[in-house]
Amino acid sequence: MEPVKKSEAPDYYEIIRFPIDLKTMTERLKNRYYVTKKIFIADLQRIITNCREYNPPDSEYCKCASTLEKFFYFKLKEGGLIEK
């Protein structure tokens, strides 16, 4: 939901080179950063990729990332933003 805090994951920024989170994405959306759907999709996919890279596959974080990914792609298809 928010940027990872160094106090909670001291090595996060050594492992994850391109951090992104939903709060940052919300700010980018408000600031009209997303001029194409491709840029928006790339940022959301980066959240999921970062989560899977940093956390163990069976962790709650990865389970949540998988749920978010399924929901996100379902909504994109439902809205006609990507092909079914």
- Measured CA distances, 11 to 23, 26, 43, 71 (Å): 21, 25, 21, 29
pTM of the model: 0.86
pLDDT grade for 70, boundaries at 50, 70 and 90:
very high
Mean of pLDDT values over 5-27: 96
Res. 48: pLDDT tops 70: yes
pLDDT score recorded for residue 84 = 55
pLDDT score recorded for residue 55 = 96
Res. 41: pLDDT tops 60: yes
- Measured CA distances, 21 to 4, 24, 38, 42, 82 (Å): 8, 5, 17, 12, 22
pLDDT score recorded for residue 11 = 97
